[in-house]
Structure formats: C-alpha cells, structure tokens
Chain A
C-alpha cells in the first residue's frame, strides 16, 4: 500500500460484494490504520461526520474527537481487543453528536486495521438525559413547593425551570445556565447564601427556607423565599433551590406538568427502545418505538416481568444475574448486547445502555434502558468478516493464478496456484517485478497493458504464450483488473490467470477445420445459404456472396435473388421455386444462369436446397448450396460440340466410304460386265497362256470390291448404323453360293474346297447379308492362310443347335493372336513385312456380324495343322430346322 491515505479501501474488490450493505447502511463504517488514519469510509460515515470522503481519508481519528474528550476505545482496539463505547463526535460544522461505536481489528494483507461501526444516538441520548433529570426534578418538586427552581453546584447554574424564566423575565434557559448562581443575588445577601451552601453540602440535607433578595436586570429588586435541597445532578452533588416569590406568589404546578410531558414526549418519539424496570424487573415504561419493534402494546407489557416476556430461554439464567449486578453496582451507565424475543417469535439483537434510577433516598429503584436494534448491523459486520475469510480462502484455494502488482510492475501478492505454476514462492515473487524473466518476458506487452487500464476500461483480457519453468509452451489467459482511487489514479492491478492451452489447441484445430471447410467451399465455388420462407429473407455466406457478386448491403430477399437471375432463365426458375413451395416438395435442385451483380458477367449456377417444414407441414425454411458451375457448363458445351463434331465427322466418313464403295462398284459394273462378255465370246480363240486373263480380271475386281465392302461394313458396324433384317434363311444354300463364288480362288491355289452336310436345308433365323458376309470372310480367310490341302465346310446339328464349321489345313493361329483376332485392323504379322494381303478387317467383321445375329463363333487352331472356326446358331423355337 503505497499511499493508503488517499485510497478508500472499501472500493476494493473484496469489499465490493458487500458494497450494497456499505452504501445503504445508515450506520457509519470506517476502516482505520493503527495510527488512526482513515483508510476506508462509507457514505453514512461521511454524512454523520459532515466531512467528504476525500477529506476523511486524509484525516486522523483524533480530528473527530472534541477538545474536551479523549480517545479511550481506539487504543484498546489497536491492542487487538474489540469493544463498544458511547462517544461524542465533533462534526465538521462544529456541532457534536453522540454516537455508539463498536470497534474490532481485522487483518487485511499484512496490515492490521480497525473497523468501526458508528450509529448516531444523539436523540436517544438527549431523551435519556432529560428523562433522568426530569424524574429527579419531578420527584423533588413533588415534595417541595411548586415555584421557580434553579439547580446549581455553588459555582454555576446547571438548570432552571420555566417559572424561573418568567420570574426573571427571560426567554431562554441558556441566558442563565453556566452563570454564577449568586450573580442575581443582592450583594448584601451573597455571603449569607455562600454560608448556607456550605452548610447544605456539609449536612447534605435541605435547609429551612430563608428570605433572599434578587436584583433583576431592570434593577427591579425582589424578595423570594429560597428552599435549597441537595440533589445528585449528573454524578455530582448539586443544590436545587426552590424560590417562592413573596411578592408575586404563584403556583408552578402547570409548568411542572408541561415539563413532565415534554420529557415523556421526547421519550416516546425517540428512535430507540426506551424501557424502564423496577427492582423486580417489572416493566414500568415502554415507549412507542418499543411497541413498534416488539409487536407488544404498552398495556400488554407494563407490570410484566421483562425476562419472562422478552428474553430467549437460552439467556434466562444469565440475564437476571446481569440485571442484579447492574442494580447492585449502580454504575452510572453500563452497556450490554442481548437478543430479545419479539411477539412474533423473531429475535432481534439490541445494544443497550442501562442507567440505574435512584430513589431520593439514594437507593436503586429501577433501571432505565435505552436500546438500539443492531441486528442488521451485526449481520453486516459478520458478513464483512465472513467475506474477508471467504476472500482469503477463495484467493488461496483458487486453481487460477492470482497476482497483484503495482503500476510500476512490482508484485504485491501471489497465490499458491501462481507459485506452483511459475515455480516460485510468495517470498520470492513479492517485491519482484512482473517483467522478471521467470514470470513473463514480454516487457513491452505488459507496459502497454498497464497503460491501457483506466477507470472507463478497468479490465483487460489478454491471451499469450508463456514458457513454463520446465520449458513447456503454454497458453495463458490473464484478466487484469485495475484498482483506482477516487481520482481515477491506477493504484494496483489484480491479475487472474488461467492455463488455456487445451482450449487454445481446440480452438486452433476448430479454426483450421472451419478454414478448411471454407477453403473447400471456395475451391468448389459452393456457397451455403439459408432462406426463411415466411419472411422471404435469406442469409448469404462469403462464398455465395462471391458467386453472386453481392456485398453486405445487398437486400437478400426473394426479389433480390430473382433480380440476379439471367432474364431468359427467370420465369422457369421462379416457377420451379414456387412449384416446390406450393407442392411442399422436399428438394430444390435446378441449374440456371445469373448475371453477377458486381461485374454483370453471365454465370451458370447449380442451386440445391432442402426444405424444412413446420408441424402443419408447410415449408418454413430452406437450406442449401449454390455452386458456380460455369466452367463445368462451358466444358459440357464444348464436349457436346466435340461430340456433335465427331458424329458429323463419322457420318461424313461413313458417307464418304459409302460413296467410295459406290464409285468403285459403278465402273466395276462395266469392267466386269465387258470382261465377262469378252470371256464368253473370245475365250475359245485365245491362246493357251492367255485363257485365264478374264478370270484374273474377274478375281482382282471382286477383291477390290470386297475390300471396299469390308471398310464400309466395319465403319457402319462401329457407328451402329447398320440395320439387320433377320428372317428364316437356308444355311445350306448360302454356303453353296459362297463356296461357288470363292471356288475359283481356292482352285487357283490348288486347294480343294468341299461342303459336307447330311441336310438338304438348314433353316436358321438370321440376316442373310450378315451370314453371307460371315461365310465369305471365313472361307476366304481359310483359303488365304492355307498354302496347300483343303477347306472343309460342315453343317451339323447338335441337339437343337445348327453349327457350321470351316476347317482348313493351314498355318494355324498362334495362341497369342487368338486373343486379338477379332479386333479390327490387325493381322498376325504386320507392317511392311506382312505376308498376307488384306486390311485386317475380315475377322473383326465376322465377329460383329455374328454377334448381331446372336451367332456364337468358336476358334480351334494348331500351328502347322490347321484352324477350325465353328458358327453356332441359336435354336429356332417352334420351327423345324431341317
């Protein structure tokens, strides 16, 4: 505590939980250091003393003690005792108040402080004093004649009554009180009065009346009969003198009565319990406040035993003893606290001031007690003590690190948890600077933090990495709270820290996964949205806003969405959406074009959404994604175009091949026709070596034709444009036709070709052209790859299947090539070295034509031995095959 005198400790955090109690209490709370300096005051204390908070915090307790009084309670409190006392306070305006003060010492930090709780008992005090006085006066006057009365101690006038005032033509007692009692006496009578006074003090009994002359201010001289009576007045022996104006005798009974009423009135209206008991502890007086507090009426209480009625059972033994002690010892005034039981059963704690009422004989006649309800005060006091303890345990038992430091960085407090975390002890840490390397190395950051603290911004939170003594990196969260004095000057900082490493790691992983998600959305150009169908408002996302080219000012309602749609796609998209809503569909899925708001570019988007329905089944919400598919759409378009191009190219190619076929066949028509005619007319006249010329022309021309046909066929087969017209056909006659067609070629090579079948007809269901092509290819192939020997064609029936096989005695087909034989444009030997003619289409065509007619082809081949191709035709249901 650097300069505690300027700071109100009650503003500190640990008192703040009881701030309400402190602020609202009508009792003055004050905290003093052992030197008597005020370090904490509440508002009520300021009001009681008349000083401001800042004035009090620079004052000492002694400043509030009237010059004629001295400090009694405070030194005891400093010694560690607690106690209570009735004191007088000198207010700022010079007036005095009577206060009941209870004090105790408390520990705060390393320091001991004195906590004082003060209540103003001035009205009570006055009531009490007046009552006692008037009781005595009353009793005395009752015994003596009712005339002007003056009480004095032989030196000064202590009191006087109204009769005196009126007799002296005065208006205020103060004009007389404090003056010498003999001042008004005629100078010749003064010595006599002095002697009678000494006599009275000596005898301590009333003297017989004597005539005395008074001189009034107007020099009017009066002769009165004076009857002095010795009395106890404020713990001192005094003389009450009863005067009887012989000239103007009048009764003072009325005055006396009013005097009594005045006293009783004060008693009744006092803001304190006023109770009087006789020696048997029976209640003789019970004021209005007491009625209000206890719930008993005066009538219910008067004459009853106080203990039986008000004292809780647990105190029934102690209280009567205390009462009898009070009576016996007859102290001027004594204090005690005890609980009283109210009519409703509730208990209140009352602080009493007890005064013994003396009989004129000097014996104790009873007790007058004035009490203040201190239940709430006591509770506040307890709570305050409790809060202190609580604070201490909270601070020390915290798993959070707690540290206090001054604005210059020097540490004033650390808790156990802090010590554990930073491997230090309070002894090591306190006094060190917060920037000490073991605690935190970031001097600049701490400095900035301290600078940033202000009354308007008293709390600063920051997260940073700290290195633990073991070298581990940990995340700490620190909440630094600035503690300020009333001038707004930063006095101290309380820092509460916590290890948030695991939270931080989680945050980081969450952040990275959410970043990844957003990054993925960005890459996919896929922006989520959520539409409230009831309001028509939708919430965009960063990626969607990017796709639409809209910013946060864009009005995201249905109209706003429709405005983005490319005009040509607007009607269809809007109708689709409205249909989805009206038909209560669950999905929305469509593609449409938009005009990007930011750059007016045309973009394709794919919008998908899921509808959410209320309990009535009406769609209320739609959530989904909108993806920018412009690139995909462009690629689609290009692919579509490429496909069209390819198809066109294919068609052009097919047409071209068809044209080639047509253009080759057309001239061949006349070439073959004329050569045939020549052959018929002139073959007989040709020389031996020339007789085959026409066959050569015929054969060569037909090969040319078949090549063109093959190319045309494969092209049509691969494009799928060829059409088949299956019907029941006779396999035998087709086989004979093909064999006869090819026989010249076979015989030219010296090969025998032979059809062997048991049937005259073999009916199959297939396309004639296709089967013709298949047989032509198979037999032509057999001829081609058979250097010598024969070609056998067999037509057989196995169960209900007709099979046709073409067997040659040729070179055979390697196993490797058997796998590829039906692929187009292949031959077993390729390139310039290839041995055989042809474009390599024959087997591919055969396979495809066979497939088109559901005809199975089997291949069996052995190198050097020969090859057999077998065609297996599907069964022809219901029709006889042969």
Chain B
C-alpha cells in the first residue's frame, strides 16, 4: 500500500470560498479544486487524495451528500476522508452528513485556524 496521499480534493462551486481555501491551504498542502460532482469523480479516478472537502450545495443533479455516499461506497477503506463543509447548519444536516459517511461536519463561516486544525488531524 502506497503512502497516504497528502493531497486535498476541494469540491466547492462558490468562487469566493474557492479563493479562501486556496489561500489558506496553498502554503501547506497540495490541492485540486473542482466545482462539480462530475469533475470530482474524474479527479478521484485520476489521482489519489488524503482528504475530500465537500460542500453540500453543488450544481447538477447531485449534491455533496451524494458524493460522500459515493466515496464511502467506492473507497470503503476510508481514503480519501470525507469532510463536509457547508452553509447548511442545522442538526439534521449534520446527522445526514455523518450518516452518509463524513468524518467531520463543518459549517460556514469557518475560521482558517479551525479548518487547518481539523485537516491536520487527517493528514
């Protein structure tokens, strides 16, 4: 088994959030930024990631929850780890995300320190 990848797949369609994540991760991590599920699945086929940071609301028919379920189905060992990061902040959203297989449920807005601390837990 190859060494665990430290690459982060970020699935986020909001441009300002993409800019924010690029800014805070660029110093420490290699990231691949996609804005659709289709692109995310393509990226997962092309390379391996340590973490997938996934927004809930995404363009196209499927949402972030579907992608988390897909990940846990296709990659049952746990790589990449799915971390939900969403502006949907209610308890039921959290329950849904954890049930789908997310390792963490994070809500927007999120401070860079908090986010980096959690990412560090997994890679």
Q: Is A665 in contact with B91, judged by CB distance below 8 angstroms?
A: no
Q: Is B91 in contact with A724, judged by CB distance below 8 angstroms?
A: yes
A667–B87 CA distance with the chains assembled, in angstroms? 10
CB-based nearest B residue for A677: B112
A701–B111 CA distance with the chains assembled, in angstroms? 12
Return 13 A-B CB contacts under 8 Å, by A number.
Answer: A662-B88, A665-B87, A666-B17, A666-B108, A669-B109, A672-B111, A673-B111, A673-B112, A701-B109, A705-B109, A716-B90, A723-B91, A723-B92
Q: Is B17 in contact with A670, judged by CB distance below 8 angstroms?
A: yes
Q: Is A662 in contact with B92, judged by CB distance below 8 angstroms?
A: no
**Min distance, Cβ A718 to any Cβ of chain B, angstroms:** 15
A438–B13 CA distance with the chains assembled, in angstroms? 110
**Min distance, Cβ B46 to any Cβ of chain A, angstroms:** 28
Q: Is B87 in contact with A670, judged by CB distance below 8 angstroms?
A: no
- Chain B residues engaging chain A, CB cutoff 8 angstroms: 14, 16-17, 19-20, 23-24, 57, 87-92, 94-95, 107-113
**Min distance, Cβ B66 to any Cβ of chain A, angstroms:** 17
CB-based nearest A residue for B113: A676
CB-based nearest B residue for A716: B90
The residue among B14, B87, B94 with the most chain A CB atoms within 10 A of its own CB is B87
CB < 8 Å neighbour of A668 from B91, B94, B109: B109
A705–B92 CA distance with the chains assembled, in angstroms? 19
Q: Is B17 in contact with A669, judged by CB distance below 8 angstroms?
A: yes
B contact residues around A661 at 8 Å (CB): 87, 89
How many chain A residues have a CB neighbour from B under 8 Å?
30
**A658 interface residue per 8 A CB criterion:** yes
**Min distance, Cβ A622 to any Cβ of chain B, angstroms:** 54
**A725 interface residue per 8 A CB criterion:** yes
A663–B92 CA distance with the chains assembled, in angstroms? 19
**Min distance, Cβ B41 to any Cβ of chain A, angstroms:** 23
**Min distance, Cβ B54 to any Cβ of chain A, angstroms:** 14
Q: Is B20 in contact with A674, judged by CB distance below 8 angstroms?
A: yes
Which residues of A from 649 to 694 have beta carbons under 8 Å from B?
658, 661-663, 665-674, 676-677, 680
Given A670-B20, A677-B23, A722-B90, the answer on whether A665 and B57 have CB atoms closer than 8 Å is: no
**A709 interface residue per 8 A CB criterion:** yes
Q: Is A665 in contact with B107, judged by CB distance below 8 angstroms?
A: yes
**Min distance, Cβ A693 to any Cβ of chain B, angstroms:** 17
**Min distance, Cβ A722 to any Cβ of chain B, angstroms:** 7
CB-based nearest A residue for B92: A723
**Min distance, Cβ B94 to any Cβ of chain A, angstroms:** 8
B contact residues around A669 at 8 Å (CB): 14, 16-17, 20, 87, 108-110
Q: Is B112 in contact with A666, judged by CB distance below 8 angstroms?
A: no
Q: Is B95 in contact with A677, judged by CB distance below 8 angstroms?
A: no
A contact residues around B110 at 8 Å (CB): 669, 673
CB-based nearest A residue for B13: A666
**Min distance, Cβ B19 to any Cβ of chain A, angstroms:** 6
B contact residues around A769 at 8 Å (CB): 90-91, 94
Q: Is A677 in contact with B24, judged by CB distance below 8 angstroms?
A: yes
Top 6 closest pairs, chain A to chain B, by CB: A665-B87, A669-B108, A670-B16, A670-B20, A669-B109, A662-B87
**Min distance, Cβ B17 to any Cβ of chain A, angstroms:** 5
B contact residues around A767 at 8 Å (CB): 91
B contact residues around A665 at 8 Å (CB): 87, 89, 107-109
CB-based nearest B residue for A673: B20
A668–B108 CA distance with the chains assembled, in angstroms? 8
Q: Is B24 in contact with A673, judged by CB distance below 8 angstroms?
A: yes
Q: A670-B109, A673-B23 are in contact. List 9 more A-B contacts (CB 8 A).
A: A662-B57, A665-B89, A669-B20, A669-B109, A669-B110, A676-B111, A680-B112, A701-B109, A770-B91
The residue among A663, A673, A701 with the most chain B CB atoms within 10 A of its own CB is A673
A727–B95 CA distance with the chains assembled, in angstroms? 13
A340–B39 CA distance with the chains assembled, in angstroms? 144
A138–B21 CA distance with the chains assembled, in angstroms? 174
Q: Is B16 in contact with A709, judged by CB distance below 8 angstroms?
A: no
- Chain A residues engaging chain B, CB cutoff 8 angstroms: 658, 661-663, 665-674, 676-677, 680, 701, 705, 709, 712, 716, 722-725, 767-770
The residue among A670, A724, A725, A768 with the most chain B CB atoms within 10 A of its own CB is A670
A768–B91 CA distance with the chains assembled, in angstroms? 9
B contact residues around A712 at 8 Å (CB): 90
Q: Is A658 in contact with B23, judged by CB distance below 8 angstroms?
A: no
**Min distance, Cβ B114 to any Cβ of chain A, angstroms:** 10
B contact residues around A709 at 8 Å (CB): 89
Q: Is A725 in contact with B95, judged by CB distance below 8 angstroms?
A: yes
The residue among A661, A669, A709, A768 with the most chain B CB atoms within 10 A of its own CB is A669
CB-based nearest A residue for B16: A670
**Min distance, Cβ B27 to any Cβ of chain A, angstroms:** 11
A792–B14 CA distance with the chains assembled, in angstroms? 41
A406–B66 CA distance with the chains assembled, in angstroms? 112
A256–B84 CA distance with the chains assembled, in angstroms? 163
B contact residues around A768 at 8 Å (CB): 91
B contact residues around A725 at 8 Å (CB): 91, 95
Q: Is B109 in contact with A671, judged by CB distance below 8 angstroms?
A: yes
B contact residues around A672 at 8 Å (CB): 109, 111
A709–B107 CA distance with the chains assembled, in angstroms? 13
A contact residues around B20 at 8 Å (CB): 669-670, 673-674
A665–B108 CA distance with the chains assembled, in angstroms? 6
A770–B94 CA distance with the chains assembled, in angstroms? 13
Given A669-B16, A669-B108, A670-B17, the answer on whether A658 and B88 have CB atoms closer than 8 Å is: yes
A contact residues around B89 at 8 Å (CB): 661, 665, 709
Q: Is A670 in contact with B19, judged by CB distance below 8 angstroms?
A: yes
A76–B2 CA distance with the chains assembled, in angstroms? 164
A contact residues around B88 at 8 Å (CB): 658, 662
A contact residues around B90 at 8 Å (CB): 712, 716, 722, 769
A667–B18 CA distance with the chains assembled, in angstroms? 11
CB-based nearest A residue for B88: A662
A644–B115 CA distance with the chains assembled, in angstroms? 43
Given A676-B112, A677-B23, the answer on whether A667 and B91 have CB atoms closer than 8 Å is: no
B contact residues around A668 at 8 Å (CB): 108-109
CB-based nearest A residue for B55: A666
**Min distance, Cβ B57 to any Cβ of chain A, angstroms:** 7
Q: Is B109 in contact with A673, judged by CB distance below 8 angstroms?
A: yes
**Min distance, Cβ A114 to any Cβ of chain B, angstroms:** 122
B contact residues around A670 at 8 Å (CB): 16-17, 19-20, 109
A723–B92 CA distance with the chains assembled, in angstroms? 6
Given A673-B110, A676-B111, A677-B24, the answer on whether A666 and B91 have CB atoms closer than 8 Å is: no
A366–B88 CA distance with the chains assembled, in angstroms? 151
A contact residues around B112 at 8 Å (CB): 673, 676-677, 680
A670–B18 CA distance with the chains assembled, in angstroms? 9
Q: Is A666 in contact with B14, judged by CB distance below 8 angstroms?
A: yes
Given A709-B89, A722-B90, A769-B90, the answer on whether A667 and B23 have CB atoms closer than 8 Å is: no
B contact residues around A723 at 8 Å (CB): 91-92, 95
**Min distance, Cβ B101 to any Cβ of chain A, angstroms:** 18
A contact residues around B14 at 8 Å (CB): 666-667, 669
**Min distance, Cβ A410 to any Cβ of chain B, angstroms:** 106
A contact residues around B108 at 8 Å (CB): 665-666, 668-669
Given A673-B24, A716-B90, A767-B91, the answer on whether A666 and B111 have CB atoms closer than 8 Å is: no
A14–B91 CA distance with the chains assembled, in angstroms? 107
A798–B92 CA distance with the chains assembled, in angstroms? 33
**Min distance, Cβ B91 to any Cβ of chain A, angstroms:** 4
B contact residues around A680 at 8 Å (CB): 112
The residue among A658, A662, A663, A767 with the most chain B CB atoms within 10 A of its own CB is A662
**Min distance, Cβ A793 to any Cβ of chain B, angstroms:** 23
**Min distance, Cβ A751 to any Cβ of chain B, angstroms:** 24
Q: Is B87 in contact with A674, judged by CB distance below 8 angstroms?
A: no
A680–B110 CA distance with the chains assembled, in angstroms? 15
A contact residues around B87 at 8 Å (CB): 661-663, 665-666, 669
A674–B20 CA distance with the chains assembled, in angstroms? 7
Q: Is A667 in contact with B107, judged by CB distance below 8 angstroms?
A: no
The residue among B24, B87, B95, B109 with the most chain A CB atoms within 10 A of its own CB is B109
**Min distance, Cβ B60 to any Cβ of chain A, angstroms:** 17
CB-based nearest B residue for A668: B109
